[in-house]
Amino acid sequence: MAYLVIARKWRPQTFDEVVGQPHVVKILRNAIEANRIAHAYLFSGARGVGKTSVARILAKTVNCKERTKSNPCNKCTSCTSITNGSSVDVLEIDAASNRGIDEIRELRESVRYLPAVSNYKVYIIDEVHMLTGPAFNALLKTLEEPPGHVIFVLATTSPHKIPITILSRCQRFDFRRIPLAEITAHLKKIVEAENLSISEGVLSVIAREADGSMRDAQSLLEQVLTFIAGGGSDKDVLELLGIVDQGLVQEAADAVIDQDVLRTIRIVDAVYNRGYNAERFCQELAIYFRNLLLLKISKDDGKQLIDLPESVLGDLGKRVDKITAENLHFYCHFLMKGINDLKYSSLPKLSLEMLLVQLCKIPTLHSIPSIISKIKELETRLISHTKGVSSSRAEEPSMKALQDSPVISEQLQEPLQEVPAVSDIQDKELPKTWEGFLSFLRRKKKRFLADILYSGRLLLFSDSEIRLELNSGLNLIDDNTKKTINSLAKEFFGKDVQIVLSGNKSENGANLVAAKREKKKLYNEAKSSGPVSLVLDILGGTIIDVKKDEQEEEGLSLEENGLE
């Protein structure tokens, strides 16, 4: 007897042997037992999920003379002839090669004749979506009102390509992709029946590569069984099938999470040397991060959505706490864009390296709720910090205690000098000096001019002329600005005073160094400040720039001039 490949040898022959389609099997069984058999069925679904096999089982069951409830006996003449494909009453038509109107006309002619030996004539039209438009139109009338002895079973992987007029005349059954666990269990059953030994890990990988198709899984298993007949390890089997090593994918994910650029480059080199496709490796890495994201969002519900063995789920659970959900979402989004770019890249290795290096450079991202909670924590700690400062101030000696002191009471008995009001100081008693003029500019809201003039060095101050050497900012003062300065000087001094400005290039370097030192001093003061250190500690930020408080600086200038 000729050798039968596993996909044909282990093809289901009864409804009980159908794997992964319980909803379809239940409806068909109930219809057969209740004798409510429709005249047209449409089986749609992915490749290799059992559409044609179920159509054959249906044909055998309705024509079996000795069936038990809803299962064929597979022993009678009708069952055996349908199984080996020699039945004259069950016709399988490949619509991909018989797609024209002439073939459908022949089918319409044959429909009129009664079955030769069976109860029903069953027409199984595979890949029915390949029929032409005129062929579909020719099939319409027959499909709507066929003779009572005819059953049509249409099978397709693309139901959206079938005219709605055909769909409305059929009972539609959508076949699902077979779950990974069920494919693995069925493959294990086949291996045990064949008296062979393959690790469950390899069977799981084969099932995952089949992508829900039992026929694809059986074809891969056939290839593996032929290979290991002469001996071979699991690693050899994975290399035979060209499947990306999941250990390498995990290592790449760990390198990205740890932001280890050098290790990432080495992994890409290993991917290239092993002959893996860069686009396929990116797909596997994106799937890995997707699984981590599902576990991060919800460990219980996430496990139900991840079609992987428990051992692999355990390894994912160990890594899920090392990364935020926001980072995982960004990784998946970035990798999906990278997969599309790799399709058109002439340098796939370099593109993959740069893609993973960019992933390593992504900082730790946080969700909006976590940031809000940190801000609330910061507010709480700042309030407690402020209360601590207030309580320390409250412990200082009060004014009443100072007055009761014998030393202070003697000083308080001396007559106090009258202190002028602040408004009088601002309007009348600014000294007619250069510092007074700078304070006058600030009062006039010319703070920018005051800051530039304040940075200069006074060379001459007389009743009619003031000479000033500027270290910086001279290029910002045009003729109109000079006129403004002179008019303000006339208003302040009560007479015409010519202000002459000049630059000093020789001191720019020294002034720059002094400015840098001052900036560094301000940075250190800000970093050691209580509120700022709390912000850095809770929110994990960095100080970008430090500037003096203009109001504080103005107060210091007035104090130096004896005005406060």
Domains by residue range for the chain, with CATH: 6-174 (3.40.50.300), 180-241 (1.10.8), 246-360 (1.20.272.10), 426-560 (3.30.300.180)
Q: pLDDT value at position 402? A: 43
Whether the CB-CB separation of 20 and 49 falls below 8 Å is answered with: yes
Sole residue written with tokens 């340098």: 347
What are the angstrom distances between the C-alpha of 509 and each of 111, 455, 514, 518, 519? 102, 14, 9, 14, 15
Structure tokens that stand for 519 in this block:
């900036």
Whether the CB-CB separation of 177 and 213 falls below 8 Å is answered with: yes
Torsion (CA) 373, 374, 380, 383 in degrees, nearest 10: -140
Quick one: which H or E segment has residue 314? helix 310-319
Going by the DSSP 8-state scheme, the letter that residue 474 receives in this structure is: G
Q: pLDDT value at position 204? A: 84
Q: pLDDT value at position 504? A: 63
Going by the DSSP 8-state scheme, the letter that residue 18 receives in this structure is: -
Q: What are phi and psi of 507, to 5 degrees?
A: -100, 0
Quick one: which H or E segment has residue 172? strand 171-174
Q: pLDDT value at position 157? A: 93
CB atoms within 10 A of CB 172: 14
Whether the CB-CB separation of 124 and 55 falls below 8 Å is answered with: yes
CA distance 304 to 294: 10
Structure tokens that stand for 241 in this block:
């099938």
Going by the DSSP 8-state scheme, the letter that residue 195 receives in this structure is: T
Whether the CB-CB separation of 123 and 107 falls below 8 Å is answered with: yes
For residue 409, what are the contacts with CB-CB under 8 A and spacing of at least 6?
A: 403
Sole residue written with tokens 């693309």: 158
Quick one: which H or E segment has residue 517? helix 508-528
Strands 465-470 and 457-461: antiparallel
CA distance 242 to 284: 13
Question: 348-360 and 246-257 helices cross at what angle (nearest 10)?
Answer: 40
Q: pLDDT value at position 304? A: 67
What are the angstrom distances between the C-alpha of 157 and each of 17, 18, 46, 404? 22, 18, 5, 100
Structure tokens that stand for 246 in this block:
């999941």
Whether the CB-CB separation of 146 and 107 falls below 8 Å is answered with: no
CB-count exposure of residue 173 (10 Å: 0-12, 13-18, 19+): buried
Q: pLDDT value at position 473? A: 65
Beta strands in 298-389 (DSSP E): none
The sheet with strand 90-94 has its strands ordered as 90-94, 121-126, 150-156, 40-44, 171-174
CA distance 31 to 54: 14
CA distance 558 to 561: 5
Listed as ranges, residues in the chain with pLDDT below 50 are 398-399, 401-403, 405, 407-427, 506-509, 551, 553-554, 556-564
